[in-house]
Amino acid sequence: MKMTTEIPESIKIPDKVETRFGTLRFEDGFPTEETAQKVYDQLDFQRAVESVILTTPGGSLVGFRKGIREYGPDNETAIIWEERMDSKVQLLTPNTTVIYVFLWLDLKNGPMVMEVPPKVMGIIDDFWFRYVADFGMAGPDKGKGGKYVILPPGYEGKVPKGYHVARSQTYGHWVAIRGFLEDGDPKPGVKNIKDNFKLYPLGKTAKASKVKFHDISMKYLNTI
């Protein structure tokens, strides 16, 4: 029977379509078995690539956590480059013009308070490398120093006044601090951070901080 309705060429399914992953063939508008399998294989490949891209941030922070834990437990260990960054560390995008300090912050046991020194610049990222908070010069304390409380997922308890509040979607966090040189000398910046940075559970005081600083200048560390 002859078709009585003209089908526009723009919506007709051709007998074959050339793609970057091969030729797709159709019979009466339906893909051949070989073409259907080729498309499914391509979808599997695309999902695999997407999975790698989406999980790379988390994988990167697993590397950071592993490197920090080589020197001590979560919430108690700060690695610092007192002589500035050097070629011994395996790290993405570092520079040698500031003092770096890294910590792994864990909120499984509840909110943590972070006392931030003046004259620093820092950031808190969650376990998927998503932004949680700035502190220091780019944060709400504007470089004057202050107290921050970081709340775990689903926290509904009361938060006392006097804190800069940050809420996170994960329990694990990468904390990065940058200190600055004075007339080319890193020592004053190092002293400022080591004397004034504190980390302890909400409800405790600064005396409960167990943070120990480990100078890893010219020591091998892999965070990748």
Q: What is the pLDDT of residue 40?
A: 97
Give the bridge partners for 30, in sequence order: 27
Cβ atoms 147, 163 nearer than 8 A: yes
Q: Classify residue 175 as exposed, middle or buried by CB count within 10 Å of its CB (0-12, 13-18, 19+).
A: buried
Length of the chain: 224
Q: What is the mean pLDDT of the chain?
A: 93
Q: How far is the C-alpha of 36 from the C-alpha of 33, rounded, in Å?
A: 5
Across 58-62, 78-82, 89-93, 207-211, least confident range: 89-93
Quick one: pLDDT band at residue 182, thresholds 50, 70, 90? Answer: very high
Give the residue among 137, 132, 65 at the shortest CA–CA distance from 98.
Answer: 137
Give the CATH number of domain 73-222: 2.60.40.1610
Q: How far is the C-alpha of 67 from the C-alpha of 69, rounded, in Å?
A: 6
Q: How far is the C-alpha of 29 from the C-alpha of 20, rounded, in Å?
A: 21
For residue 77, is pLDDT > 90?
Answer: yes
E strand or H helix at 133 = strand 131-136
Residue extents of the structural domains in the chain: 73-222
* Span 13-36, average pLDDT: 92
For residue 1, is pLDDT > 60?
Answer: no
* Span 51-56, average pLDDT: 94
- B/e letters for 85-97, b = 16+ CB within 10 Å, e = fewer, are beeebebeebeee
pTM of the model: 0.83
128-166 residue pLDDT tens = 999 999 999 999 999 999 999 999 999 999 988 999 999
> What whole-number percentage of the chain has pLDDT above 70?
98
For residue 84, is pLDDT > 80?
Answer: yes
Quick one: pLDDT band at residue 95, thresholds 50, 70, 90? Answer: confident
